[in-house]
Structure 1
């Protein structure tokens, strides 16, 4: 019983430590989740300063943090990401890119030159057994330094209409 009394008496120290830890983690992640947890901990500290029992402090902190995470965090993230460039970059930009086979591509290997000018080690996806030199391909996925490609039917010119 003495231990519980000591915990209740010094709970404010625990709340301050939690607030500090959550704020440090928030500075490292910049995702607003730990900021909301820190604000919930501030609410728990405030309730502690009014002399509430420890179970009520934890309940208030949890409710405030949950309300902030589900109510305030989504609009904050939308506002923060409003000016982002939606253009995919790096490997994500290669997915769906067109290319042409330079060296016969099989499930074990080959080479494909992508439309951005890069030549990649390529493998055929499970649906294709062998893709011949000069065939147009599309990148399905990238795994390390290997582009998994699928043959694309050549686009034929539309028939000319005589007027």
Structure 2
């Protein structure tokens, strides 16, 4: 399973809003700059996050976005579902799936494995709040950023191949 770019960027934007909670709205341009994300893409993410009741927007000179509820009340799972829908590693576990529409339903042995994976992922995502994310991981980066020019000087074509 891979997290979509939409969710990855959306969660990064939400952590910026969580860090600014209680200090007024933050513009998408500020979030884009802080997280090095395209502002235009963030605009696309704002609508589903608003519809889910996770953020509120304010217009005007000092406008922007802010969390609609405290960071401790927003789970990573809620952000994922707002942006991509429910996590489902296989089609038969999606909300849209009609039971019985697969001829393998009565005899499928692997579905139970994927159901357990889905339930485990949901449990983990729903157990982490934006507040927790910011207090545990925003204090220091998980990895050290290596600028592209330094990667080139090291002669690596794949940045992931550089050992720290």
With the length of structure 2 as denominator, give the TM-score of the two structures.
Answer: 0.23
**Greater share of residues in strand:** 1
TM-score w.r.t. the length of structure 1 is 0.23
Q: Which has the higher contact order (CA 8 A, sep 6+)?
A: 2
Structure with larger Rg: 1
